[in-house]
Structures are given as C-alpha cells and as structure tokens.
C-alpha cells in the first residue's frame, strides 16, 4: 500500500495545563517516512502533545498542519491509538474492529491474524487479557489507510513477539510514505527514529 | 460497510449484548403502572381518568432511566473519541446514535403503551391519543436526555445531574402532551397541540445533535 506523501507541520505550538507550561513554541516538521518518539518524564506532557497533534485537544496557541490543512479538518487522515482500550468489552473482537475500521470480514480476519488474534475473533473483549486487548486495538494498524499514526504507549502490555510485529509494521508504514509518532517508557526496539525530549518549562 | 452502517450496526450488537438495557425500562413501566391501582384505588372510572397521565409519566421516567449512561461507557473506553477521526461530522454520527437509541429503547415502550392503557381501562380514543402523543413527543425527550448525558460526561456520578440539567426542557413537552390527553378526553381537537409537539421534536432532532457533538468535544478536550 503506497500512501500519498504528506507532511506534518507543527508551528509555535504551546500548551498550558493547570497553570503549568507543558511546552512552549514547539516547532518541527515531519516529512513522509519519518518516525518521531516523544520522550519525557511522567507528566511532561507527552500525551497532551500527541492528543493536541491528533486534534483531540483544542489548540491553545500555534498550529498543526496535516499537508496544508489544519488538523481539525484532516482528522480522518490520522490513526490515533491512546491509553484507553478503544474497544468495547461487551462486543466481540471482530465486531469491535468492524465498527472502528470498516472493511469486510475476510480483510479484518487477516488483520487479526497479523496480531495473532485470529483464534479469538468471536470472543468478547472483556474475556481477553490486557495484552490481548491491546493486540485487538493495534490490529487497526493493519486496516487503516491513514498516513499519520499517533500511538500513545503502544508497547504497553505487549509481549516480545508482538513488540517485534509492531516494530515491523511501523517500519513498513513509514517505508511506504507514512509518518509515525509514538511514546514509550520502554527501551525502544525500533532502530531509526528522531526523538523529541519534552521537559517541564518552568 | 459505510460509516453510517457501522454506527447503527454497533448499536444493534450492543443491544444484543446487553438485553437488560431494553428490558429494564419496560419492566419499570409495568411495575409502576401495576402499583397505581394498588396504591390508589381499583375504581375503574378514576383509573380511566388518570390512567393515560400515569402511563405518560411512567414512560418519561423509564426513558430517563436508560438514557443516563448514554455516552458514558463509550466515552470512558475511548471509542467515542475515535468517532472524531471518522470522515463524518460528529453531529451526524450522534444523530444516528440517538435515532438508534430511540428505535431500540424508546419505541418498545410506546408500542406496549396501548396494552397497558387497556389494563387501566383507559377509553380507546384516549389510548390512541396517548400512543400518538408518545410517538410525537419522545424524539424530543430522547434528544434532551442525550444532551444532558453529553454535558455531564466529564463528571463522575453524572447520571442524575444530566436529568436535572435538562429538566427545564422536558417541561414544555410534558405540558403540551398532557394538553393533548386532556383534549382527547373532552373529545375536542388535538391536532394543533400534536403539531406543536411534532415541531418540538423536529427542531430538537436537528439542533440537539449539534449541541451534543460540541459538548462531547469539550469533554474529550478536557480529559486525559
């Protein structure tokens, strides 16, 4: 799958939460094919930054441009997977995926196979373990044609084999012209990425 | 599957997975109505007179009962915020969800109301008027309770708060609906009031999803 090359431009982005300046006049541009790791201590504003870039938070100051559109008009070009499970416990794995990703059953089952969850497609999500739940949420990476991936702590609760699968998927995504932003507290196993260190601006 | 189909399908799957959500309000309605003759009097003339109003109030409460957690679980498991990434306006998706909710959770209450009216010996024409009133008025009530739920998403124990916030909007609908019932009992013209109720429902069906989508956005923007 080849994606239309797209740039993600962040300009003069500032954010203040509870009277604390999390980041100030942040500016960078990500070209197609780049991976950015947002690093920082707990509470440094990693999630806030990712959610702001994804368009979930209102931008207090500055702008986020997807291609040449402001992010609020281009959210459908972003795939955001956050802390929350983003799956409904009362529904089956396949139904959850069908709701969020569309596509037909065979396609979705392929995606589930990629994350090693094919045997569970009929199980209710609430019956799965935490790691399996994360695998379901991450299966959306195999169904999405969004060029920009924003993954907040994608490695949480994953075992070594799934981390490898995820790394490979991120690599192939950027190789086909995508952009990926992620955070992790674990030692990243991906080899090539840029790092943005967020620190408290006092 | 189109996005619209996916939203509707999910509501159906959820209803199948949580049948209690559909049965609970019906059970509640039956329970309240069966208490009326016991608590008040088994006098069928009196029951015929107040029966339709009792059913109407019990339906209203049953409707509030199941709308208090309207968006809560989708909000806390992060599915609702994913709707923002769909290539459709959020208000449109909210409108679909409200419609599905009305069809799955409110319509059954309306459909059984003539039967319940029969048990309270409500006269036939009044019971028909009751049925039509509910059909015309409940879309507005569903919208308002959805708005209450969306406005109080961020706060814990939001259930009753949402209802309280929306109470002023329920009042005109209840007043108009009881007007229809009184007129039906007198045998006078009910159409003008029904038309007004219908206008209320149409206006809220158009405007409330927009307000709900703004409320959801604000609540997503303010949470971690």
Per-residue pLDDT tens digits for B145-203: 999 889 888 776 666 787 788 889 899 999 999 999 999 988 888 899 999 999 999 99
**Full residue range of the structural domain in which residue A57 is found:** 8-198
- Interface predicted TM-score of the whole assembly (ipTM), two decimals: 0.91
Contact between B82 and A86 using a beta-carbon 8 Å cutoff: yes
List pLDDT tens digits, range A124-148.
Answer: 999 999 999 999 999 999 998 899 9
Whether A90 is in a domain gets the answer: yes
In a domain, A1, yes or no: no
Q: Which residues of A touch B3 (CB under 8 A)?
A: 102
pLDDT reported for residue B79: 92
* pTM of the complete model: 0.91
pLDDT in tens, A153-179: 999 889 999 999 999 999 999 999 999
Question: A191 CA to chain B: closest CA distance, Å?
Answer: 29
Residues 6+ apart with CB under 8 A from A40: A46, A197, A198, A199
**Is A119 contained in some domain?**
yes
Cβ neighbour number for residue B137 with a 10 Å cutoff: 25
User: Looking at residues B78-90, what average pLDDT do you find?
Assistant: 93
CB A72 within 8 A of CB A26: no
Output the average pLDDT for chain B: 90
Give the pairing of strands A61-66 and A8-17: antiparallel
Q: How far does CA A122 lie from the centroid of its chain?
A: 25
Does residue A154 lie within any of the structural domains? yes
A3 occurs within a structural domain: no
CA distance B94 to B146: 9
CATH number of the domain bearing residue A115: 3.40.50.300
Which residues of A are less than 8 Å from B17 in CB distance?
A: 90-91, 124
Say if the Cβ atoms of A86 and B78 lie within 8 Å: yes
Percent of chain B clearing pLDDT 70 (strictly above): 97
Share of chain B above pLDDT 90, in %: 62
> Taking CB atoms and an 8 Å limit, are B224 and A47 in contact across chains?
yes
Instruction: For residue B60, give both structure tokens.
Output: 């209203």
* B6 to A75: CB separation less than 8 angstroms, yes or no: no
Residues of B within 8 A of A183 (CB-CB) are none
> Kindly report the CA angle at B171 between B167 and B177, in degrees rounded to 5?
135
How crowded is residue A189: how many other Cβ atoms within 10 Å of its Cβ?
12
User: Cβ contact (<8 Å) for B73 and A88?
Assistant: yes
Q: At what angle do helices B159-186 and B44-67 cross, to 10 degrees?
A: 150
* Six-digit token string for B38: 């016991």
Q: Contacts of residue A56 in chain B, CB cutoff 8 Å? A: 81, 84, 220-221
Whether A2 maps to a domain, the answer reads no
Q: What is the tens place of the pLDDT at every residue in A66-110?
A: 988 999 899 999 999 998 888 999 999 999 999 998 888 899 999
What does the block give as tokens for B196?
């007004």
Higher pLDDT, B89 or B159: B89
Chain A residues within 8 A of B79 when measuring between CB atoms: 86-88, 99-100
In the block, residue with structure tokens 């192939």: A172
Burial of A163 (0-12, 13-18, 19+ CB in 10 A): middle
* pLDDT for B66: 76
- The string of DSSP codes covering A122-181 is TSBGGGS-HHHHHHHHHGGGGT---SEEEEESTTTT--HHHHHHHHHHHHHHHHTT-EEE
| pLDDT tens digit sequence for B28-65 | 999 999 998 898 888 888 888 889 999 999 999 898 88
* Number of domains making up chain A: 1
Q: What is the pLDDT of residue B224?
A: 42
């Amino acid at each position: 799958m080849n994606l239309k090359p797209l740039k993600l431009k962040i300009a003069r982005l500032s954010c203040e939460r509870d009277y604390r300046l999390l980041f100030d006049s942040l500016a960078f541009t990500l070209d197609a094919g780049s991976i950015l790791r947002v690093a920082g201590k707990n509470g440094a504003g990693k999630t806030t930054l990712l959610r702001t870039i994804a368009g979930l938070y209102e931008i207090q100051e500055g702008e986020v441009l997807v291609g040449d559109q402001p992010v609020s008009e281009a959210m459908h070009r972003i795939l955001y997977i956050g802390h929350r499970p983003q799956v409904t416990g009362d529904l089956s794995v396949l139904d959850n995926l069908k709701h969020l990703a569309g596509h037909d059953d065979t396609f979705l089952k392929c995606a589930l196979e990629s994350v090693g969850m094919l045997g569970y497609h009929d199980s209710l999500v609430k019956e799965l373990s935490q790691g399996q739940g994360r695998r379901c949420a991450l299966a959306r990476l195999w169904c999405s044609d969004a060029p920009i991936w924003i993954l907040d702590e994608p490695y949480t609760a994953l075992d070594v084999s799934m981390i490898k699968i995820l790394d490979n998927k991120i690599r192939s995504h950027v190789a086909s012209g995508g952009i990926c932003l992620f955070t992790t507290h674990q030692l990243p196993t991906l080899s090539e990425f840029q790092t943005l260190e967020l620190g408290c601006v006092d | 599957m189109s996005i619209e189909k996916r939203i509707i399908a999910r509501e159906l799957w959820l209803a199948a997975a949580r049948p209690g959500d559909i049965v609970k309000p019906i059970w509640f309605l039956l329970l309240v109505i069966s208490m009326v003759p016991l608590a008040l009097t088994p006098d069928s003339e009196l029951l015929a007179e107040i029966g339709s109003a009792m059913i109407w109030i019990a339906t209203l409460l049953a409707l509030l009962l199941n709308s208090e957690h309207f968006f809560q679980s989708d909000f806390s498991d992060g599915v609702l915020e994913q709707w923002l990434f769909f290539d459709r306006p959020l208000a449109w998706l909210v409108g679909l969800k409200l419609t599905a909710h009305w069809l799955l959770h409110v319509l059954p209450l309306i459909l059984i109301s003539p039967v319940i009216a029969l048990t309270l010996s409500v006269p036939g024409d009044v019971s028909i008027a009751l049925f039509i009133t509910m059909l015309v008025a409940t879309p507005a009530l569903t919208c308002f309770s959805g708005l209450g739920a969306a406005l109080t998403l961020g706060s814990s124990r939001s259930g009753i708060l949402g209802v309280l916030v929306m109470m002023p909007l329920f009042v005109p609908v209840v007043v108009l609906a009881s007007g229809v019932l009184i007129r039906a009992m007198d045998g006078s013209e009910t159409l003008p009031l029904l038309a007004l109720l219908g206008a209320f429902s149409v206006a809220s069906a158009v405007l409330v999803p927009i307000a709900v989508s703004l409320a959801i956005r604000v609540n997503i923007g303010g949470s971690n």
